[in-house]
Every structure is written in structure tokens, then in C-alpha cells.
Amino acid sequence: MAEELCEKLRTMAASSETTEINEPMTFKLKTIQEILKLHFKEKEKTRISGDALRLTTEVIRVFVKEASARAAMQAENSAEKEVTIEHLEKILPQLILDF
Amino acid sequence: MDDQNASDDLETLTHVQHLKAAVHYTVAKICEETGEEKHQTFSRQSIATISELTYRQIGSFAEDLELFARHAKRSMVGIDDVKLLVRKSLPLANHITQLAETLSSGTEEKKKKKPQRRKKKVSSTDPELNYQDNSTVENID
């Protein structure tokens, strides 16, 4: 029993270490800034602060993560190994409502 | 609007395509991450759909952020505008507020340093004053 616990703790520690080392993939700030600029109505006037840009990038990262995770769950529930657009179609309305 | 932009179309089209490609790349990476966690693979079509969706969502975010800033009579989009953007879902709002605090803590430290320096100056001048007072007292004696 004690050995099993030790092993479990070790694997948990290892997994937490790897998650700490591997930072979640995110967008380049410059990319997001360019796309935002492109969609501003008054392009010359409107600017975005550095912190606000970082927060917006995080929102977009969460959006993609949420979309992929929900689609993956939908695929899992229908006992399939690959996520297709059919799964995406099912989760899309609620996803858009949540953002 | 389209007629005005028609001459720029060739230049902007490639620019937009570059940006879409960049979004597609990152979306594919994030999907890969999620796929590993959930033991699923993502079809090419689904990744393309998510990236197109994301690109349009960013456009919608941009319009909202600009309007929020304009409503507050600012031309600079700030942290508060982003907080307003995520008001619909509470967990996301909490997450963003937390991140905003960690980001602003760096700038707050800079602000805190200034009063400390002032205090030091005051404290350094105080002994001098006391010393002068003492010396005058001594002189009188």
C-alpha cells in the first residue's frame, strides 16, 4: 500500500512538473494586435495598451481551448476517436453564447 | 467602402492571409494539446473551422473593445474594456481579473517605490534638523 502511494505521488509530482515547464501554447501578441487593428473602425485613432493586449490574447486562447475541449468531449460521448466538424457543429451555438 | 478599399485589396489580402495562417498554426497547436489530454485526434477540417471561427471572433472582439473604449471617451483600449468583454461568463471573468491583477502588480511596485524614496529623504533630513537644533541650543549655552 505504502509503495503504491509513493509511486502515485511520484507520478503526480512528475506530471505537475511537466505542466509547469510546458507553458500553454498561446498566440503571438503581435498577431493579435495586427488582427485587432485591422478590425478597428477608426484605425488611426484607436490603440491598445500592452496589458489589455495580453488579456485579450488570453481570452482568445481560452476561446480556442474551450472550443477544442468541448468538441473533443462531444466526440468522446459519441464513442469516436476523431473530432470532426459534426461534433463542432453541435457545440458551436453554446460556445458562441458563452463568449 | 468596398470601392474605396478596392485599390488596397491586393496588398491587404496577402496581409490578411498571413494573419489567418498565423492563427491557423496556433489553433492547430492548441488542438494538438487538447487532443493529447482527451485522447482524441482532430480532423483537418475541424481545425480549419476552429481557426476561421477564431479569426472572426477576434474581429468581433475588436469591434466591441473599440466601442467600449469610445464609450468611456478614450482612444486607448485598456484593461477595463477587456473585463467588460468577458462579463458574460463568470469563471472567465474571474480568470481574467486575476491575470489583470498579476499584470498590474508589476506596475504597482514601481509606484510604491516613489513614496518610499520620499520617506527616506524626509527621514534623512530630520536628523540634520535635530542636529542643527542641538547645535543652536549648545551655542546658546
Cα separation, A70 vs A84, in Å, equals: 12
CATH topology of domain B16-61: Histone, subunit A (1.10.20)
Of A13-17, A72-76, B36-40, B101-105, the range with the lowest mean pLDDT is A13-17
CATH of domain A25-98: 1.10.20.10
pLDDT, one tens digit per residue, over A39-87 is 999 888 999 999 999 999 999 999 999 999 999 999 999 999 999 999 9
Which of B29, B40, B54 lies at the smallest CB-CB distance from A72?
B40
- CB contact, 8 Å: B34 with chain A? yes
The residue-averaged pLDDT of B96-103 equals: 92
Which of A35, A85, A99 lies at the smallest CB-CB distance from B45?
A85
**CA B113, A55, A85: angle at the middle one, nearest 5?**
165
Cβ <8 Å between B27 and A64: yes
Which residues are CB-contacts of B31 (< 8 A; sequence separation ≥ 6)? A64, A68, A83, B42, B46, B47, B50
Average pLDDT, chain B: 79
- Confidence tier at A19 by pLDDT (50, 70, 90): very low
Tell me, what's the pLDDT at A14? 53
The residue-averaged pLDDT of B113-136 equals: 44
- CB contact, 8 Å: B84 with chain A? no
* pTM greater than the 0.80 cutoff: no
Which residue do the cell numbers 468596398 mark?
B2
The domain spans of chain A are: 25-98
- CB contact, 8 Å: B124 with chain A? no
Q: What distances in angstroms separate CA B101 from CA B5, B89, B112, one per listed residue?
A: 41, 18, 15
Tell me, what's the pLDDT at B123? 43
Of A15-24, B36-45, B126-135, the range with the lowest mean pLDDT is B126-135
Cβ <8 Å between B88 and A39: no
* CA A3 to chain centroid: 36
Q: Given a cut of 80, is residue B13 above it in pLDDT?
A: no
Cα separation, B65 vs B96, in Å, equals: 15
Phi and psi based region of residue B38 (left: phi greater than 0; alpha: psi -120 to 50; beta: remaining): alpha
Which of A27, A39, A63 lies at the smallest CB-CB distance from B63?
A39
**CA B77, B81, B84: angle at the middle one, nearest 5?**
165
Q: Which three cell numbers stand for residue B52?
A: 476561421
Measured between beta carbons, the chain A residues lying within 8 angstroms of B37 are: 69, 72
Residue type, A64: V
- CB count within 10 Å of CB B22 equals 19
Measured between beta carbons, the chain B residues lying within 8 angstroms of A47 are: 75-77
- CB count within 10 Å of CB A63 equals 23
Tell me, what's the pLDDT at A44? 86
Tell me, what's the pLDDT at A53? 95
- Confidence tier at A10 by pLDDT (50, 70, 90): low
Over pLDDT 90: what percentage of chain B? 60
Cβ <8 Å between B75 and A72: no
The domain spans of chain B are: 16-61
pLDDT, one tens digit per residue, over B100-117 is 999 888 766 655 554 444
Cβ <8 Å between B23 and A56: no
Q: Which residue has the higher pLDDT, B93 or B135?
A: B93
